[in-house]
Homo-oligomer: A and B are copies of this chain.
Amino acid sequence: MTERSGLAERVLQGDRTALARLITWAENGDPRFAGELARLWSRVGRAWRVGVTGPPGVGKSTLVDELARLLRAESKSVGVVAVDPSSPYTGGALLGDRIRMEDHTLDAGVFIRSMASRGSHGGLARAATSACDVVDAFGFDRILLETVGVGQAEYDVLDAADTIVVVLCPGAGDSIQAMKAGLLEVADVLVVNKAELPGSDRLLNDLTEAVHVRFLEREWKVPVVAASAGTRFGVEAVLAAVEEHRVHVERSGLELARRRKRAAQVRHAVNEALAEALWVENGWSARIERDLAAGRSPHEVAAALLSEVVNGLHKPSEVKR
């Protein structure tokens, strides 16, 4: 395997090894990643990114597999990015890969990648977004981004998605927790999976009522779909709801919506990097302690540090001040 040409170039030529490698760079925060992504950037934005989330045990992976199968039947290529912030890299994530590979491994129209938590929560969300970007540039039509919906890290990961599918199932106390924790608020499509279980009608009704009341004023009416991914029931309906949402978003200004999300991500990344540069590398933390020990007031110390940054800036002339 030659290393002569860059990973970006090889990804554009359809090299799946390069694709996997580039995602690893993103995952590890490799400084070379930014340059490669810049070379791919003009090809990013064609794939539709579907986030699939929900509490543990509701059957997200099965649903993702069945959605991938359906999309393949429609001759759409599918990238799957499965994020598991709770499991170490050598644990669940890899095992998940192996189980999934059995079905799709020989199909060039499918790419499956598991990612696990590395470093900060913000880092995971960035890595997941970057992975989607690379899979997108490679040329896949749809990306299924699976993440367990339990905390802030997972919500941040969902920022990479164009459509968010929240999966719940009857009888799991977790589903109620999920509703309380705000999963409902981020859902574009709600799925009651394992619909054969007792209590599914009640959950369907509760959710339908909840979204009706909460989202009365919104343009997109969140559909609540009953499914049983294990027996392939309802998966077409889920996919149809996702496609409907895609059409809705594309009509109402997709580019702007995506750019806003990107802008928020850039902002987070800059803030994190700035904190690292100033407080750690530039020694501001130590300086504060020294200045306070020397008897300077907190406001003076803060003002001195701030002025160093603000005075060094290029003031953009076009911005009102």
A contacts, CB < 8 Å to B: 33-34, 37-38, 41-42, 44, 259-260, 262-263, 265-267, 269-271, 273-275, 277-279, 281-289, 292-293, 295-303, 305-306, 308-316, 318-319, 321
Taking a contact as CB atoms under 8 Å apart, the answer to whether B293 and A273 are in contact is no
Taking a contact as CB atoms under 8 Å apart, the answer to whether B306 and A259 are in contact is no
Question: Max chain B CB contacts within 10 Å: which of A287, A293, A302?
Answer: A302
A-B contact pairs, 29 of them (CB 8 A): A34-B297, A34-B299, A37-B297, A37-B299, A38-B296, A41-B295, A41-B297, A41-B300, A42-B295, A260-B289, A262-B292, A263-B288, A266-B302, A267-B285, A267-B288, A270-B302, A270-B305, A271-B275, A274-B309, A277-B306, A277-B309, A277-B310, A282-B310, A282-B313, A282-B319, A283-B318, A287-B316, A308-B314, A312-B313
For the complex, give the distance between the alpha carbons of A38 and B315 in Å: 29
Taking a contact as CB atoms under 8 Å apart, the answer to whether B316 and A283 are in contact is yes
Q: A306-B270, A309-B313 are in contact. Are A263 and B277 (CB under 8 A)?
A: no
Taking a contact as CB atoms under 8 Å apart, the answer to whether A38 and B297 are in contact is yes
Q: Please give 12 more A-B residue pairs, beta carbons under 8 A apart, in addition to A266-B298, A267-B284, A267-B285.
A: A34-B300, A37-B297, A38-B297, A41-B296, A263-B288, A266-B301, A273-B306, A277-B306, A282-B315, A283-B319, A308-B312, A311-B312
Taking a contact as CB atoms under 8 Å apart, the answer to whether B300 and A38 are in contact is yes
Nearest Cβ in chain B — how far from A256, in angstroms?
A: 9
Count this chain's copies in the assembly: 2
Taking a contact as CB atoms under 8 Å apart, the answer to whether A292 and B277 are in contact is no
Taking a contact as CB atoms under 8 Å apart, the answer to whether A312 and B315 are in contact is no
- Using Cβ atoms and an 8 Å threshold, which residues of chain B touch A34? 297, 299-300, 303
- Using Cβ atoms and an 8 Å threshold, which residues of chain B touch A260? 289
For the complex, give the distance between the alpha carbons of A296 and B283 in Å: 31
Taking a contact as CB atoms under 8 Å apart, the answer to whether B319 and A265 are in contact is no
- Using Cβ atoms and an 8 Å threshold, which residues of chain B touch A33? 299
- Using Cβ atoms and an 8 Å threshold, which residues of chain B touch A319? 281-283, 286
Q: A309-B277, A314-B308 are in contact. Are A269 and B288 (CB under 8 A)?
A: no
For the complex, give the distance between the alpha carbons of A311 and B278 in Å: 11
- Using Cβ atoms and an 8 Å threshold, which residues of chain B touch A273? 302, 306
CB-based nearest B residue for A293: B259
Q: Contact partner of A262 among B298, B305, B311, CB < 8 A?
A: B298
For the complex, give the distance between the alpha carbons of A245 and B281 in Å: 37
Nearest Cβ in chain B — how far from A117, in angstroms?
A: 21
For the complex, give the distance between the alpha carbons of A42 and B294 in Å: 11
Taking a contact as CB atoms under 8 Å apart, the answer to whether A281 and B312 are in contact is no
